[in-house]
Homo-oligomer: A and B are copies of this chain.
Amino acid sequence: MLSWAQSLYPIPRSLTGDGVRETLGFLSEVTKGLRIHSVRSGSAVFDWAIPQEWKIRDAYIEHLDSGQRFAEFSKLNLHVVGYSEPIDLVMPLEQLSPRIYTQPDQPNWVPYVTSYYKRSWGFCMSEKEKASLPSGDYRVFIDSELFDGEMLYADALIRGKSPKELFFSSYICHPSMANNELSGPVLLAALMNFIRNEIPEPRFSYRFVLVPETIGSLTYLSKHLDDLKAGVVCGFNLTCVGDNRSYTHVESRLGGTLADQALEAAFLGLSNASKYSFLNRDSDERQYCAPGIDLPVAAFNRSKPGKYPEYHTSADNFDVVTAEGLQGSFDVMSTIIRAFEGGLYPKAAVLGEPQLGKRGLYPTTSQKGSYDAIQARVNVLAYADGNHSVFEISNRTQLELATVLNELELLGKAGLIASHDETW
C-alpha cells in the first residue's frame, strides 16, 4: 500500500482531468475488475451539475525584475488553486497578494485551496515564503483550460452468494497529499485484492467505489440509488486511513447500523480510538447518509480529517502516512470482512450450555478460578442466539472482535454453532 501511495503522490489530481485518469489507470493495474465510468460536463446530478473538465499544464508567478519564479506548479502541485482559470498578466505584488493563499497559523506549509464551483484563480504559498516575496511587478501565469469534457469515477463489484453488499468508498481528487487522500484509495485497492485472493467464494457481495469527493459520490448515488438501498448492508467511507496516531469512527446519520456496530467492535482493545457523531462528519458520508439516502455507511479514519495539523497542507506527506498506519487500517477492515464472511448472526447448535469439557474446550477438574480462562468462550456462546450480530456479541461482551471470531471458529469446528441464516 505504501509504495502504491508513493507512486500516486506526484500526480496532480482534481475533480476532473488527466490526474484522475492517470490515478484510476494506476489503480486498475494493481487490482482486478475496476470499471472506469465517464459522465459529461453539465450533466445534472440531484441538485448539482457536473463541472467542466480542468486541464492544468503549468503555473507560477515570476518576479519581473529578478526573473525569480515562485509558487511553481511544476515543483508542487498545491501551489495553484484547484480549478484556476487560465491567466497571463503582469501585476504589482499589492494586486497579486490577495490571490495568494497561505495558512498563517502554519507558516511553513503550503495550504490546499480550491474553487470548483465559482470561476476564480489563485496561488498557494507558505506564509513565510509569501512574506519574503520581493516587491515589484510579477508575471502571473496559469496555463490551464476549463472545457466541456468528462468527469471520471470507478467502481468494482465482486459478487458473492448473497446479493447483500459491503460497500467501500474513497476519493481520488486531491493533489499531492498522502493521508488525505492517497491512504484511502490504496487501502480500498488492498481490500479488493484481499477479497479476490483470500475469499474465493465470498458469502457477501462487495462493492468498491472511487470518486471525486462530493460531486462523485452524488453522481454515483444518482445512478445507483435503488440498487444501493436494496443491497448495501454495511459500508465505510475511507479517508485519512494512513497515519498511526489514532482510530476514528464517525457514526452514520442515525447511528446503530451494522457499519457502526462493526467499527465499535473492531475498535475494542485499540488505544486512542474515538467515536464521533454524524454532526462531525467530513467527507462523502455526508452524501451516503443524507436524508432519504441513508445508506448504512460510517466513516473510518485514523486521524480525523481536519483534526491533525498537516491536514490540507503540503505537510500531509509520508511522515504522516506510514506502513504501520496503513496496516492498522487494513487490519480493522479485514477483520470486519472476516466477521461478515464467518457468519454474521451465529446461533448455538444445542439448547442449554453445551458440554464443552468433552470436546477439550473446558477444564474437566473444577476448582474455584478454573473457569476464568474460558470466560470469553462461554460469553460468546451465551449471546450466539441468532439475533446478535458478531459485532453486537463483541460489543456486549466487550471482547475484541478478533477474539470473538476466534472463539466462534473453535466452536464452529466443534459443531456447536448452527448453520447460519442463508438469507443473508
**Could you list which residues of chain A lie within 8 angstroms of chain B, going by C-beta atoms?**
45-48, 81, 101, 103, 111-118, 120, 122, 214, 218, 221-222, 225, 253, 278-279, 281, 286-287, 289-294, 306, 311-313, 347-348, 350-355, 357-358, 364-368, 378-379, 381-386, 396-397
Decide if A352 touches B118 in the complex (CB within 8 Å).
Answer: no
Known: A113-B365, A120-B365. Is A350-B47 also a contact (CB below 8 A)? yes
- How distant is the Cα of A114 from the Cα of B363 in the complex, in angstroms? 11
Contact of A117 among B218, B278, B358, B397 (CB under 8 A): B358
Decide if A111 touches B368 in the complex (CB within 8 Å).
Answer: yes
- How distant is the Cα of A347 from the Cα of B351 in the complex, in angstroms? 39
Decide if B367 touches A221 in the complex (CB within 8 Å).
Answer: no
Copies in the complex: 3
- How distant is the Cα of A112 from the Cα of B383 in the complex, in angstroms? 30
Residues of B within 8 A of A214 (CB): 353
Decide if B117 touches A386 in the complex (CB within 8 Å).
Answer: no
Residues of B within 8 A of A279 (CB): 379, 382, 396-397
Decide if A368 touches B287 in the complex (CB within 8 Å).
Answer: no
Q: How far is the CB of A13 from chain B (nearest CB, A)?
A: 15
- How distant is the Cα of A117 from the Cα of B356 in the complex, in angstroms? 11
Q: How far is the CB of A230 from chain B (nearest CB, A)?
A: 16
9 cross-chain CB contacts under 8 A: A115-B364, A117-B358, A118-B364, A225-B351, A279-B396, A287-B353, A290-B348, A291-B382, A291-B384
Decide if B354 touches A47 in the complex (CB within 8 Å).
Answer: yes
Decide if B292 touches A348 in the complex (CB within 8 Å).
Answer: yes
Contact of A355 among B47, B290, B355, B364 (CB under 8 A): B47
Decide if A352 touches B221 in the complex (CB within 8 Å).
Answer: yes
Known: A117-B357, A221-B352, A379-B279. Is A291-B386 also a contact (CB below 8 A)? yes
Known: A117-B358, A311-B368, A353-B286. Is A291-B47 also a contact (CB below 8 A)? no
Residues of B within 8 A of A366 (CB): 113-116
Q: How far is the CB of A112 from chain B (nearest CB, A)?
A: 7
- How distant is the Cα of A347 from the Cα of B291 in the complex, in angstroms? 8
Residues of B within 8 A of A48 (CB): 352, 355
Contact of A367 among B113, B118, B350, B358 (CB under 8 A): B113
Decide if A46 touches B117 in the complex (CB within 8 Å).
Answer: no
Q: How far is the CB of A138 from chain B (nearest CB, A)?
A: 21
Decide if B115 touches A290 in the complex (CB within 8 Å).
Answer: no
Question: Who on chain B is nearest to A290 by CB?
Answer: B352
- How distant is the Cα of A101 from the Cα of B366 in the complex, in angstroms? 11
Decide if B292 touches A385 in the complex (CB within 8 Å).
Answer: yes
Question: Who on chain B is nearest to A371 by CB?
Answer: B306
Residues of B within 8 A of A289 (CB): 382
Residues of B within 8 A of A222 (CB): 351-352
Known pairs A120-B365, A218-B353, A286-B353. 7 more at Cβ < 8 A?
Answer: A48-B355, A103-B367, A115-B364, A117-B364, A118-B364, A218-B352, A312-B368
- How distant is the Cα of A307 from the Cα of B355 in the complex, in angstroms? 25
Residues of B within 8 A of A45 (CB): 352
Most buried by B among A214, A364, A368: A368
Residues of B within 8 A of A381 (CB): 291
- How distant is the Cα of A353 from the Cα of B350 in the complex, in angstroms? 49
Most buried by B among A120, A279, A294: A279
